Amino acid sequence: MAGQHAKLSPSASERWINCPASIRMEEHAPPEEDSPYAMEGTIAHELCEILAGHEFGMLDFQEFTNRKAHWIQEVLRPMNYPDGTYDEMREHAEAYVALLKERKAIHPNSQIMLEQRLDTGVPRSWGTSDAVIVSPTHVEIVDFKYGAGVKVEAAGNSQLRLYGCGALDTYGDLLGDTESITMTVHQPRLDHTDSETLTPDELRAWRADTVIPSAELALTDDAPFGPSEAACRWCPAAGICRARIEAATMEDFGDILDPDAVIEPEEPEALTPEEIAVALERAPQLKAWLNALEKAALDMAYTQGIQIPGYKVVRSGGKRAFHDGTAAIQRLIDEGYKPEQVARFQPETLGNLEKLLGGRKRFDELLGKYVSKSEGKEALVPESDKRQAISPEVEAAADFI
């Protein structure tokens, strides 16, 4: 396994479990580039490993000092992040280490291992778990997520469960007879920690009944498609997949006008609220596909040099900007203009100031009373959304009070 990427990666398991053909379609997809968010997550993971390694005795003080210095000089600084980025990453990495200590203390005689390469027991599938905690009766894997965009839940999470399968197979009988296994996700930037606990029998049954059949299909030349929001969201081939476009059009909107599913409209030419509700539910999947389509088409036309009939690649209008704003301002001042005429003084963005001050808590202590938040625009969301519903009548009454 060393030096190789798993064909059926646990991190992509939600995709290939639901759409086995996506593995075959990867061969036709444009090459994926690491996003700035993924790179930031990798950097934060490395700091977590360094701090945890020192905390749990895997790095002596000299090794810890050397690795941390190298991380700052050779990994973090070349990225040119805003001031305060290190303090924020360190705060979140320390919270991760504190969580590992807490979880390790739950079960007596626990041992902890970091960055463990685990075979999931599924063909061509392995991955690296951030931490594995093993006791005579319990096994736990902990997965650190640095992203702040999408909250990751533990229940039913196939990536975490596959890591759990690997940990159970590798360490389940190391200290005794395992009675339960816990899969924990830690997302400090969202202040979110979540766990799922299963028995070994439950976890292995899930692998045997749900995952292995899909994995075996995914490795065949005629693996079936299963387009869906979950399967297509991160699929590199989403923009060029024929099954995806069929799902995004026929299946997503073909039944909106089903007379058995909606109330007969008073105006036949206008959609009813029930019809609009069906369309709204499926619109995000269609938007995601359109974005993937445009990205794939641009890569095909520009990078690969493949002609898209009726289209050409151009450069959109660039924007003028000073490449040396300080020198430009000084030149104007030398010409007799006043500083307030040629320059503006304003604070940094709130996010950059939070990083500078070492986190949200310190930011609120120093600057909280100077910050206000606008009401925001009206947005239509599913009823499951936790935010309070609004209406003109309710808001008018609140304004009057």
227 vs 19: CA distance, rounded Å: 6
What is the pLDDT confidence band of residue 244, given thresholds at 50, 70 and 90?
A: confident
Q: Is 172 strand, coil or helix?
A: coil
From 303, 328, 348, the end of a domain falls on 303
Rg of the chain on CA atoms, in Å: 26
Q: Are 183 and 203 in contact (CB under 8 A)?
A: no
Answer yes or no: do 274 and 171 share one domain.
no
Answer yes or no: do 61 and 201 share one domain.
yes
The percent of residues above 90 in pLDDT, for the chain, comes to: 49
pLDDT of residue 333: 92
Q: Is residue 358 a part of any domain in this protein? A: yes
Answer yes or no: do 179 and 278 share one domain.
no
367 vs 348: CA distance, rounded Å: 12
Q: Is residue 124 a part of any domain in this protein? A: yes
Answer yes or no: do 112 and 17 share one domain.
yes
Answer yes or no: do 187 and 133 share one domain.
yes
Answer yes or no: do 204 and 251 share one domain.
no
What values do phi and psi take at 321, rounded to 5? -155, 145
Q: Is 255's pLDDT higher than 60?
A: no
Give the single-character DSSP code of 305.
-
Answer yes or no: do 344 and 288 share one domain.
no
Domain span at residue 361 reads 340-368
Answer yes or no: do 243 and 119 share one domain.
no
109 vs 35: CA distance, rounded Å: 40
The owner of tokens 């390790």 is 104
From 168, 190, 218, the end of a domain falls on 218
Answer yes or no: do 214 and 250 share one domain.
no
Answer yes or no: do 270 and 350 share one domain.
no
Answer yes or no: do 278 and 247 share one domain.
yes
Q: Is residue 401 a part of any domain in this protein? A: no
26 vs 338: CA distance, rounded Å: 59
Q: Is residue 1 a part of any domain in this protein? A: no
pTM of the predicted model as reported, rounded to 2 decimal places? 0.73
DSSP characters for 341-394?
HH----PPPHHHHHHHHTSHHHHHHHHGGG------------TT--SPP--HHH
Q: Which of 323-337, 360-374, 381-395 is predicted with the least confidence, judged by mean pLDDT?
A: 381-395
From 218, 246, 262, the end of a domain falls on 218
